[in-house]
Chains A and B, each alone.
Chain A
């Protein structure tokens, strides 16, 4: 039982490149979330999906898109990466939240 799995663990992008962060959970949870953690900022909600087929903006959605592919998977896409998106990204599911181990993204 893996819980919440995020891929990749690390990624370096150049400004303007695009990429998709993948997240899958095997706990049959309805709700899924994407957070970012920056030094001294705590965790901030980017997007969430209350159930399969729905997505909603969180506190900091600009520059991101999401897809709830099915009940298990919730992906986060950066269409044109910017240095301000350098961060650690966490996917989570359910309430109380179960977190993955994060993706550390650097945009140069």
Chain B
């Protein structure tokens, strides 16, 4: 049973436009959400996070939105740059004890930014 779902395996966007990556979750115990970016042959790198007490978090060109009632979050990249081309993973954690240590990842969305 997939608790974190990224339903779009891939996304292509023109340079300078907005990229929107989506993520849905099913576990109501999740209270902390993260996005990671991964280039080929490298480990994932942390991009941005959001706690369930917020509905938006911004860091430069990257903004994450959280809709708790819909159990949905999205990552907006504006403007998109060719260097943003990578696989983006959504991840979630929550609950007490072991739940706070265990990140559950989605399957990833491959973003291609076309110059």
Q: Does B53 contact A (CB under 8 A)?
A: no
Select from chain A the residue with minimum beta-carbon distance to B90. A42
Interface size class of A (residues with CB under 8 A): 20 to 34
Q: Chain B, 73-115, contact with A by CB distance < 8 Å: what is the 0/1 string? A: 0000000000000000101010000100111111110000000
How many A-B residue pairs lie within 8 Å, measured between CB atoms?
A: 53
Known: A41-B107, A42-B107, A44-B105. A97 touches B42 (CB 8 A): no
Known: A96-B34, A100-B43, A102-B43. A42 touches B102 (CB 8 A): no
Contact partners of A31 in chain B: CB under 8 A: 101
9 more CB-based (< 8 A) A-B contacts, given A42-B108, A43-B91: A42-B89, A42-B106, A43-B44, A48-B101, A90-B44, A96-B49, A97-B36, A97-B46, A100-B43
Partner-B contacts on A (CB < 8 A): 4, 31, 33, 35, 40-45, 48, 50, 56, 58-59, 90, 92, 95-102
